[in-house]
Protein backbone atom coordinates (compact mmCIF):
# COMPACT_ATOMS: atom_id res chain seq x y z
CA UNK A 1 0.00 0.00 0.00
CA UNK A 2 2.73 2.47 1.00
CA UNK A 3 4.92 1.45 -1.94
CA UNK A 4 2.00 1.91 -4.32
CA UNK A 5 1.33 5.37 -2.89
CA UNK A 6 4.97 6.37 -3.33
CA UNK A 7 5.06 5.03 -6.89
CA UNK A 8 1.82 6.82 -7.73
CA UNK A 9 3.27 10.05 -6.33
CA UNK A 10 6.48 9.66 -8.32
CA UNK A 11 4.72 8.65 -11.50
CA UNK A 12 1.58 10.72 -11.39
CA UNK A 13 1.71 13.29 -8.63
CA UNK A 14 4.90 14.92 -9.82
CA UNK A 15 3.67 15.15 -13.39
CA UNK A 16 0.41 16.69 -12.20
CA UNK A 17 2.35 19.55 -10.63
CA UNK A 18 2.78 20.96 -14.11
CA UNK A 19 0.13 19.25 -16.24
CA UNK A 20 -2.79 19.78 -13.85
CA UNK A 21 -2.39 23.56 -13.57
CA UNK A 22 -1.55 23.80 -17.27
CA UNK A 23 -4.72 21.93 -18.28
CA UNK A 24 -6.78 24.13 -15.94
CA UNK A 25 -5.23 27.27 -17.43
CA UNK A 26 -6.05 26.09 -20.96
CA UNK A 27 -9.63 25.32 -19.87
CA UNK A 28 -9.88 28.81 -18.38
CA UNK A 29 -8.64 30.28 -21.65
CA UNK A 30 -11.26 28.35 -23.63
CA UNK A 31 -14.00 29.36 -21.18
CA UNK A 32 -12.97 33.02 -21.13
CA UNK A 33 -15.90 35.37 -21.62
CA UNK A 34 -13.83 38.40 -22.60
CA UNK A 35 -10.33 39.49 -23.59
CA UNK A 36 -9.33 40.27 -20.01
CA UNK A 37 -10.05 36.71 -18.85
CA UNK A 38 -8.36 35.27 -21.95
CA UNK A 39 -5.22 37.36 -21.37
CA UNK A 40 -5.13 36.35 -17.69
CA UNK A 41 -5.32 32.68 -18.70
CA UNK A 42 -2.58 33.18 -21.31
CA UNK A 43 -0.36 34.75 -18.64
CA UNK A 44 -0.98 31.76 -16.35
CA UNK A 45 -0.12 29.39 -19.21
CA UNK A 46 3.09 31.28 -19.95
CA UNK A 47 4.09 31.27 -16.26
CA UNK A 48 3.50 27.53 -15.86
CA UNK A 49 5.29 26.70 -19.11
CA UNK A 50 8.24 28.87 -18.08
CA UNK A 51 8.51 27.09 -14.72
CA UNK A 52 8.37 23.74 -16.49
CA UNK A 53 11.00 24.76 -19.05
CA UNK A 54 13.36 26.05 -16.36
CA UNK A 55 12.99 22.84 -14.36
CA UNK A 56 13.72 20.71 -17.43
CA UNK A 57 16.72 22.85 -18.40
CA UNK A 58 18.15 22.65 -14.88
CA UNK A 59 17.79 18.87 -14.78
CA UNK A 60 21.02 18.04 -16.57
CA UNK A 61 23.40 20.50 -14.93
CA UNK A 62 25.38 19.44 -11.87
CA UNK A 63 26.07 23.04 -10.81
CA UNK A 64 22.64 24.39 -11.59
CA UNK A 65 20.88 26.78 -9.24
CA UNK A 66 18.60 23.92 -8.24
CA UNK A 67 21.47 21.57 -7.38
CA UNK A 68 23.38 24.20 -5.43
CA UNK A 69 20.20 25.41 -3.73
CA UNK A 70 19.37 21.88 -2.70
CA UNK A 71 22.64 21.57 -0.79
CA UNK A 72 22.72 25.10 0.60
CA UNK A 73 19.06 25.61 1.48
CA UNK A 74 16.98 22.43 1.47
CA UNK A 75 19.40 20.10 3.26
CA UNK A 76 20.21 22.43 6.20
CA UNK A 77 16.56 23.41 6.54
CA UNK A 78 15.59 19.71 6.56
CA UNK A 79 18.21 18.98 9.22
CA UNK A 80 16.84 21.86 11.32
CA UNK A 81 13.31 20.41 11.12
CA UNK A 82 14.62 16.94 11.95
CA UNK A 83 16.41 18.39 14.99
CA UNK A 84 13.15 19.93 16.21
CA UNK A 85 11.37 16.57 16.07
CA UNK A 86 14.32 14.72 17.59
CA UNK A 87 14.55 17.15 20.51
CA UNK A 88 10.80 16.80 21.10
CA UNK A 89 11.28 13.04 21.40
CA UNK A 90 14.51 13.03 23.42
CA UNK A 91 13.61 15.67 26.03
CA UNK A 92 10.73 13.74 27.67
CA UNK A 93 12.50 10.37 27.48
CA UNK A 94 15.71 11.48 29.14
CA UNK A 95 14.48 14.46 31.15
CA UNK A 96 16.63 16.85 29.15
CA UNK A 97 15.94 20.47 28.29
CA UNK A 98 17.52 20.68 24.83
CA UNK A 99 16.46 23.56 22.60
CA UNK A 100 16.75 24.07 18.86
CA UNK A 101 17.34 27.73 18.15
CA UNK A 102 15.04 29.49 15.73
CA UNK A 103 16.12 30.21 12.21
CA UNK A 104 16.75 33.95 11.74
CA UNK A 105 13.70 35.66 10.16
CA UNK A 106 15.53 36.61 6.96
CA UNK A 107 16.73 33.04 6.43
CA UNK A 108 13.25 31.68 7.21
CA UNK A 109 11.72 34.06 4.66
CA UNK A 110 14.19 32.90 1.99
CA UNK A 111 13.61 29.25 2.86
CA UNK A 112 9.83 29.68 2.59
CA UNK A 113 10.35 30.76 -1.01
CA UNK A 114 13.34 28.68 -2.07
CA UNK A 115 12.47 25.27 -0.61
CA UNK A 116 9.18 24.92 -2.56
CA UNK A 117 10.85 26.34 -5.69
CA UNK A 118 13.66 23.79 -5.48
CA UNK A 119 11.25 20.93 -4.81
CA UNK A 120 9.14 21.96 -7.82
CA UNK A 121 12.28 22.26 -9.95
CA UNK A 122 13.32 18.76 -8.90
CA UNK A 123 9.86 17.51 -9.80
CA UNK A 124 10.16 19.18 -13.19
CA UNK A 125 13.57 17.59 -13.67
CA UNK A 126 12.09 14.17 -12.97
CA UNK A 127 9.32 14.84 -15.47
CA UNK A 128 11.88 16.03 -18.01
CA UNK A 129 13.97 12.87 -17.61
CA UNK A 130 10.90 10.68 -18.00
CA UNK A 131 9.79 12.53 -21.11
CA UNK A 132 13.29 12.35 -22.60
CA UNK A 133 13.47 8.61 -21.88
CA UNK A 134 10.37 7.92 -23.98
Q: What is the pLDDT of residues 74-86, one digit of tens each?
A: 788 889 989 999 9
Residue with the bigger pLDDT between 69 and 77: it is: 77
User: Mapped to the 3 state alphabet, what secondary structure does 20-46 carry?
Assistant: HHHHHHHHHHHCCCCHHHHHHHHHHHH
> Which pLDDT belongs to residue 10?
46
pTM score, whole prediction: 0.43
Residue among 70, 71, 29 nearest 48 (CA) = 29
Rg of the chain over all Cα atoms, to the nearest angstrom: 20
**Owning domain of residue 110:** 2-133
> Based on the structure, what is the number of domains in the chain?
1
Element (H, E) at 76: helix 75-94
Amino acid sequence: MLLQTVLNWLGGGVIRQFTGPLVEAYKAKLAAQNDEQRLAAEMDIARIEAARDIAVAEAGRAWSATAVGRWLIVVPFGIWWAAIYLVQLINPWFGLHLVVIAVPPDIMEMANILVPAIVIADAGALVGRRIAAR
